[in-house]
Amino acid sequence: MIFLACQSAKVISACQLILRSNIVHMSVETILKEWKIKAYKPIYWLEGEEPYYIDKLVAFAEHKILTESEASFNLTVFYGKDADWTAVVNACRRYPMFAERQVVLLKEAQAMRDIDKLEGYMEKPLGSTILIVAYKDKKLDGRSKMVKHIKKNGEIVFFKKVADYQMNDWIKDMVTTKGYQISTQAITMLADHIGNDLNRMENEVEKMVLNVGRGKEIDVNTIEKYVGISKEFNAFELQSAIAKKDLPKAIRIIQYFELNPKAAPLQLVLPAIYNYFSKVYTIFGMEDTSEGALKSMFYNNGFAAREAIQTTRSFGLQGVEKVLLLLHEYNLRSVGINNASTTDSGLMKEMVVRMIS
């Protein structure tokens, strides 16, 4: 909805990206360096809005801390929804078999009932157990005894969602870390189409680097071929056509979507257009509306910032408000509210005509 949107080498490579978010105490890179030299703490509490980094650390812990033979006896995995706190504590207090340590993973811990009852174990953890808790989309109360115990005996790491304006740099860093180059236009295309879904972004980049030769640059043609985003007919180009009030081009793009339903479903197109026009809307309330002041809102892309400035002039405040209201209306119609039978392409055409007219 538009108002809401292991292999060792792969895991290490992804985690060694520069983390552009607020992290308490330790970074992913620091934790991995310690784990690689077998320096462990009894507790790692991984929390916050960004699941990508949590998943990477959990994957490394699950597959690389213990050898395959050690894991047979000394790796225990719990899932929050089905986990009983007593079972988790009992597993943590068990001594390792034929190994120096054991690993206990508590995945999806945010769904666990009575998780606060782990407090007693956090106060006196077993030194031979490495407990890793993945607590996604939430954060512990910093005033609680649980937090104090974890800080004393382990680490709490908070992962903040990577902001839209950071995505261009994030994509470039990820691709560079994998040993490839990527064009500025390709970065913008990926950022606009995928947004800040880091797991999906990495999967799409992995798909491309497996198919392009070492040393070759990832460009818009690579994305079109392997990700399936047309460089001419995509949500970004439709948004641009609307911003320029180019109705013929907008209709051509929608006709392409009609023939290729998977290219840009309505529930992908609407958030893209909303994201752009909501940013344009904020410009009207800014004191400094220069290109330099707006670049950070548009992935540090000067061209996009200039286009946004032009959009404010061609639409005006009332025009942009009208676009946002229409997006809300057609979002509701796309899920069947006040819409009996109109197809997605039909809704898009109707909406675009009303926006531009």
| Percentage of the chain modeled with pLDDT above 90 | 59
- 341-350 pLDDT tens trace: 778 889 999 9
Mean residue pLDDT of the chain comes to 87
pLDDT given for residue 323 in this prediction: 95
- 52-106 pLDDT tens trace: 999 999 999 999 999 999 999 999 999 999 999 999 999 999 999 999 999 999 9
**Torsion on CA atoms 345, 347, 348, 352, rounded to nearest 10:** 140
16-30, 145-159, 184-198, 256-270: which has the highest mean pLDDT? 145-159
228 token code pair = 């399936």
- 24-47 pLDDT tens trace: 335 788 999 999 999 999 999 999
Residue pointed to by tokens 């970004």 = 236
Cα–Cα distance for residue pair 99/328, rounded to 1 Å: 58
Which of these, 247, 241, 221, 230, lies nearest to 193 by C-alpha position?
Answer: 230
Cα–Cα distance for residue pair 306/272, rounded to 1 Å: 18
Residue 106's H or E segment, with its range, is strand 102-107
293 token code pair = 């002041």
**pTM above 0.75?**
no
21 pLDDT band, cuts 50/70/90, is: very low
252-261, 314-323, 327-336: which has the highest mean pLDDT? 314-323
- 95-147 pLDDT tens trace: 999 999 999 999 999 999 999 999 999 999 999 999 999 999 989 988 899 99
pLDDT given for residue 213 in this prediction: 75
Residue 2 has pLDDT above 80, yes or no: no
Say how far residue 259 (Cα) sits from the centre of its chain.
29
pLDDT given for residue 297 in this prediction: 84
Higher pLDDT, 161 or 106: 106
| Burial tier of 169 (Cβ tally within 10 Å: 0-12, 13-18, 19+) | middle
What residue type is 185 in one-letter code?
Q
Q: Are 254 and 342 in contact (CB under 8 A)?
A: no
23 pLDDT band, cuts 50/70/90, is: very low
pLDDT given for residue 115 in this prediction: 94
pLDDT given for residue 26 in this prediction: 59
Residue 311 has pLDDT above 70, yes or no: yes
Buried b / exposed e across 80-89, counting CB within 10 Å, b at 16+? Answer: beebebeebb
Q: Which residues pair with 43 in a beta bridge?
A: 131, 154
- 211-244 pLDDT tens trace: 887 778 899 899 988 887 777 888 888 999 999 9
pLDDT given for residue 352 in this prediction: 95
pLDDT given for residue 258 in this prediction: 87
Residue 22 has pLDDT above 70, yes or no: no
